[in-house]
Structure 1
């Protein structure tokens, strides 16, 4: 790779015949990560968001983001919000995951792909909440605000959960 490394792992889960694949990403963004590594991560997210189905989770360390208002104090957090918006991703965690802050996120490019999200307490001596969720079988592609880019095909996975 000719770009700055990121702390991320990407996995493609093969679906049953005709069901389609799911790309799953796990990321850790250190709080002091520089702009170059952020841009490399955003390029990876952009490439992964073109997958038929994407679930991206991790600790992104942007405690100043207000997801309800789609706003942030710091420049790096605003750039992250731009990346999320530019790639039509939905953030599905609704409760703080670490000391009142929403650092850990689940992002997806399909409405209804992720469900039953629950915080389950911390594991061992971690100060982050464990997040439990299901990847569901039928989901709709996230719709953009641009009429020419809207998609609403059902993702056929024969109704079973992964």
Structure 2
């Protein structure tokens, strides 16, 4: 940890791991601060833009700013407005949402602030009793250096390796099923659950599992970069043995640094160029850079109970989305003018139509909420087209989605 004292506080750099550093800054801005001092403070804050992880806190004395509503009760040239705009331009997140200074006959105000350059880095923020005769409350919080979300595969100790699946055996399982007899007397949802259960059992029996390995090496580490690093290491070892060939090592060191920077820049440009055709690659890159990986958290139900499954969370989100739409009164639906003389009495499709759709699936996509992988549907399209066509017909006839 390196400590550096500045005019308006103290800052230090904390080593988090082999590659990441955290800048911790403690700032104090006097309520009678001059324009010159405010400019110097802003210069210090602008340097945060080039730092990967930062935590800035202290007494900023900005009672004009309402951090909850995101408003400033001052003119455009006022120091509070200028500082607030700089914080917004730097994409800093402010966490204190309660008054931190109490004085008799005065309105409580939020003067002590906590900033980070990434969301969800502060947890368990709470106020404590003032220290000594101070009229400012104490603040205590937990800083999250990093976190991750364990996937379903990691929780199970592995994930199915669909590239090595025994699809011949799976086809035999599906062919041995008498789908007409199995699904004939069942409702739409019950028929779907039956098919889903057979598919999941076939995957469990005939698709091997592989362990999930976390990738620690950077994605930009290509063969060219590896070769340059290896050459640099050999020259360094030669220089360390006899203290000769230093110039050659120095040239290779500079060359390696240049190659590494080019590889990093090319890797970062690729998601931008391919954003239109491959938006998922761009969002994966953005997610990689986040210290805190945030998924869909538990939601509170109407009975003050937290959701436990993805299905329950989806239902609660659906209820919320429905609540924002206008509820039409009961009564006859207004008739719209007919734009065509043709009427669709029924939707006709065959087993072959379903098979053609399954054959066009992208086998490298992730499975949906049903956890049936597209590779299974595509490889066994002929065998699964019959039960799926039966379920689709039941769904159209009954108006029920499974």
Normalised to the residue count of structure 2, the TM-score between the two structures is 0.34
Contact kept in structure 2, 1:122 and 1:129, CA below 8 Å: yes
Larger radius of gyration: 2
Equivalent runs, 1:10-159 vs 2, <5 Å? 10-18=11-19, 20-74=20-74, 75-99=78-102, 100-138=108-146, 151-152=286-287, 153-155=289-291
**Contact 1:90–1:108 at 8 Å: present in 2 too?**
yes
The 1:81/1:108 distance shift into structure 2, 3 A limit, reads: same
Partners of 1:128 and 1:49 in 2: how far apart?
29
Contact 1:70-1:81 within 8 A present in 2 as well? no
Distance in 2, Cα, partners of 1:110 & 1:14: 18
1:49 deviates by: 3.4
Q: Contact conserved, 2:68 with 2:97, CA < 8 A, in 1?
A: no
Equivalent residue of 2:66, what SS?
A: coil
- Give yes or no for contact 1:111–1:139 (8 Å, CA) kept in 2: no
The 1-side partners of 2:147 and 2:37 are apart by 31
Structure with the higher fraction of residues in helix conformation:
2
Q: Which has the higher contact order (CA 8 A, sep 6+)?
A: 1
Displacement of 1:137 in angstroms is 2.3
Supply the distance in 1 between the matched residues of 2:109 and 2:290 (Cα, whole angstroms): 34
How far is 1:126 from its partner?
A: 1.0
Point out 4+ residue stretches in structure 1 off by more than 4 angstroms. Answer: none
CA distance in 1, matches of 2:142, 2:53: 14
Alignment RMSD:
2.1
Aligned residues: 143
Counterpart Cα distance in 2 of 1:29 and 1:139: 33
Contact 1:139 1:154 in 2 (8 A): no
Higher percent of residues as strand: 1
How far did 1:33 drift? 0.6
Aligned to 2:244: none
Structure 1-normalised TM-score? Answer: 0.80
Separation in 2 of the partners of 1:139 and 1:81?
29
